[in-house]
Every structure is written in C-alpha cells, then in structure tokens.
Amino acid sequence: MGKIDCSRNMPPFVLLCCLLIGSLVSCDEKHIIIIEKPTEVLEKPYPLSYPSSNPRPNSVVGVVNEKETVEVIKEIYGKDFLVYKIRMDDGKVGYVVYEEGMSRRK
C-alpha cells in the first residue's frame, strides 16, 4: 500500500477544521489554587513521610502563605492523595499536597 498525501486528498474545509480543533485542544488555560492556611511546598510529588511503612526522601522547598494564590502547572493523582505541581510568585516550582480548604480556579 502506498502513502496517502493528505494535502491532495483532504478537502480544505476538513483540513481547516482539524487545525482549529487542534488549536483549541492545545490552548493552555492557567489555573490557580487559593491557599487557606500556610502550606509547605515540597521538592517531590508526594507527601512527606510517604509511604508510612518505608518513607521516600522528600524535603520542603518553600511555604505558601494564607490567602496566597499560586499557578497550577499540573495535577498529579497518587493512590491516596492529590498533588498540585505549582509555580510560586518567585518562580520556584514545587508540589503542594491537596488539603481541605484549598480551592482551584481558572
């Protein structure tokens, strides 16, 4: 079987629709979380002392203060937790473990 040349076989309308859908899917909306109490920012994407039976090394790289907002880069779901990869106001990147009272907004 030969290769299909999409530029010749695809109607211009279909090509335009594909490009439009691709651009909408790749749009990067910024999300933020609002911190309700001082929260530690971690070096790695899991809670301190996790797992409890044989904790992996992790350390605190900063603190987000009460009522502060931070940019969410990514959500990471663990077996027993949700972690946000964030960018702090000073540009540092780290991880915040979700706690009750945090709210996420676009």
Q: What is the pLDDT of residues 39-70, one digit of tens each?
A: 999 999 999 989 888 899 999 999 999 888 89
Could you tell me the pTM of the whole model?
0.68
Any idea how long the chain is? 106
Q: Is the pLDDT of residue 21 over 80?
A: no
3-state helix, strand, coil split of the chain in percent (to 5) is 15, 35, 50
Strands (E), the chain: 31-34, 39-42, 60-64, 69-77, 82-87, 93-97, 103-105
The pLDDT of residue 99:
86
Name the token pair of 51.
Answer: 């797992």
pLDDT band at 26 (very low <50, low <70, confident <90, very high): very low
CATH for the stretch 31-105 = 2.30.30.40
